[in-house]
Amino acid sequence: MEVHPKKKETLLSIPTWSPGSYKIRDYAKSIHKIRLEDPKADWTLEQIDLDTWKVNSKGQPFKVSYLVYGYEHTVRTNYFTDEFLLLHPPGTFLYPRDGLDSEVEVSWKSLSPFHHCYTGLRKKENAKHTWKAKNFDELFDTPILLTNEKSLDFESGSCKFELVVLGNVSVSDKKRLLADLSRVVDTQIRLMGGTENRYYLFVLDMTESTYGGLEHMNSSINQFDPIGAFNGENYRTLLELLSHEYFHHWNVKRIRPIALGPFDYQKPNLTKELWIAEGITSFFDAYFLLLCGIYNPQQYLNKIWKDVRELEDSEGESWMSLEESSFTAWTKYYNRPSDPNFANTGVSYYTKGAILALSLQLRIFSDTGGDKSLLNVMRELYEGYYLGKGRGFTKAEFFQSVKKASGLDLKLEFDPFISQPTRIPVEKYLSMIGIERSPSKQKLETGFRVKEEKGRLVFNKINLSKSIRETDLNVGDEWIAVDGVRVLPGNFKDILKKYRPGQKAEFLVARRGSISKRKVKFDQKPSACEFWIDEKAERRVLDLRKKFLTMDLPSEAEAKKSPKSNSSKRVKSR
């Protein structure tokens, strides 16, 4: 790294987190052997913090070298192999603390053994392997992929799209994915009135037992399990992931809560509005699939039902508000894998945020006769704050934009669902377009989940239902027997079938080497019902539902006329 310092002393830091992934990642753990190259006698380099080094070069240009360990297979970390090299800039590049706005050049001595470099960075003229970023914000937001895999491409809205699929995927599946992805992208661009991007890169890493995505200004890194990926619901889930990350290039990268920029890469950027950034995106990712025909209406309703059931199966909504879920994401939501209690006391701003966005969409749709929707609000935020003011917005400004775009003042109605641990009556909003919930029947709710460990059954989830709350079962306990009958991984489901809601049972459990008995009372829960379409609704409701399910898309010519399509205006991210 060559630095042209502004002062005698320069602080070099490695980011501690990545925008879009709200958890401290401590990338410094992967930085090794940092040293000055060709230093003068009186120059010094000293580590002064876990993520920061101080260089005293007397104000003269200097070079440092260091090694980066990269073998963590996620969308937010470096992964270096002989198959491909996926470089995540926040986990790779040191930056001068007083030089975030400095122009950056990244050069490779050689791409060997790879033939292709895919990135949203600009290629430097007359330089074989050098790319440029206008500042470190752009560099940290632009991943780099080296591979021998050839990309597939398409165009939409005067933007060139490249798709690079990593993994053992057939040519026919790649072509099918490209065709469907182009439909999703074209739908988003038309409904948002154009895109200012000239280039966008999709990287899809197909690796077993992986799932996730991370958005960037002109690219996204996506991971998905290839087993059955191109079949039925799995394939729709894959397209939903790609749809989600692409919509982020508007919502979050441009339309953003005010706290999400400028970034402090050394500490959390806290915001209470991730329900906008991620929740609204989670609503639109599936809704766009409906509008372009990848979801049929019932498949879309099943998706909504799945989200509703996720919320209903947890006590979290009575413990945590959407704002708290957003604000504490760094310590709570992103630590779910190591916190078995989150399912009881936490709520997902993705899932509940999507239900809130759906409810907002339906309220606006119903009250305006289908003439306005949440898309009008998103375009208002884009034009008013990103293009107009060059900044993000507050919650109050979000609802002001709702009013400006739709003519409706909805803050009083919807704020309790955001600021308080209150359930959203989604059935009320779905009924506005003639969608009803089928009657539920009694079904046994045990209040716990188990997993097999070395032939034993171990509790891995305990729901805070009233009955379980009154007994002493904990995550990690071994379940040995119920009412004197031995339970095993292969028989416990059949054994539980003889019990009914309200019945009690005696469990034999082991904890810390001791065996004890526990009294358990079984609850009841709704059966696996669903949302269904009421064909006997009144004419106005039927018309609204048709508009909602088949929203008219602007023609390609109309989209190109939009003043936002490939806008020459650029707003600095800082």
- Against a cut of 0.75, is the pTM above it? yes
H, E, C per residue of 168-183: CCCHHHHHHHHHHHHH
Task: State yes or no: pLDDT of 407 exceeds 90.
Answer: yes
CATH 2.40.50.140 fits 253-439+529-574, yes or no: no
Rounded Cα distance, 400 and 397, in Å:
5
Task: State yes or no: pLDDT of 103 exceeds 90.
Answer: yes
CA atoms within 13 A on the CB side of 22: 25
Rounded Cα distance, 417 and 424, in Å:
6
Q: Where are the domains of the chain?
A: 2-147, 168-249, 253-439+529-574, 445-526
- Kindly indicate the confidence band of residue 571, based on its pLDDT and cuts at 50, 70 and 90: very low
pLDDT given at position 557: 52
**Both tokens assigned to 269:** 């950027």
pLDDT given at position 566: 52
Amino acid at 22: Y
CA neighbor of 359 nearest in space, from 416, 298, 427, 264: 427
Rounded Cα distance, 305 and 315, in Å:
17
Class of the CATH-defined domain 2-147:
mainly beta
Amino acid at 47: Q
**Both tokens assigned to 258:** 């005010």
* CATH architecture label of 445-526: Roll (2.30)
pLDDT given at position 341: 84
Amino acid at 243: S
CA angle 295, 296, 297 (to 5 degrees): 115
The per-residue pLDDT for range 421-448, each reduced to its tens digit, is 999 999 999 999 999 988 766 677 788 8
Q: What residues form DSSP beta bridges with 480?
A: none
Q: Identify whether the C-beta of residue 163 lies closer than 8 Å to the C-beta of residue 153.
A: yes
In this structure, what is the dihedral angle of CA atoms 547, 550, 555, 559, given to the nearest 10 degrees? 80
Higher pLDDT, 5 or 469: 5
**Which range, of 175-189, 205-219, 249-263, 446-460, averages the lowest pLDDT?**
446-460
Q: What share of the chain has pLDDT > 70, as a percent?
A: 93
The per-residue pLDDT for range 208-237, each reduced to its tens digit, is 999 999 999 999 999 999 999 999 999 999
CA neighbor of 301 nearest in space, from 439, 434, 440: 434
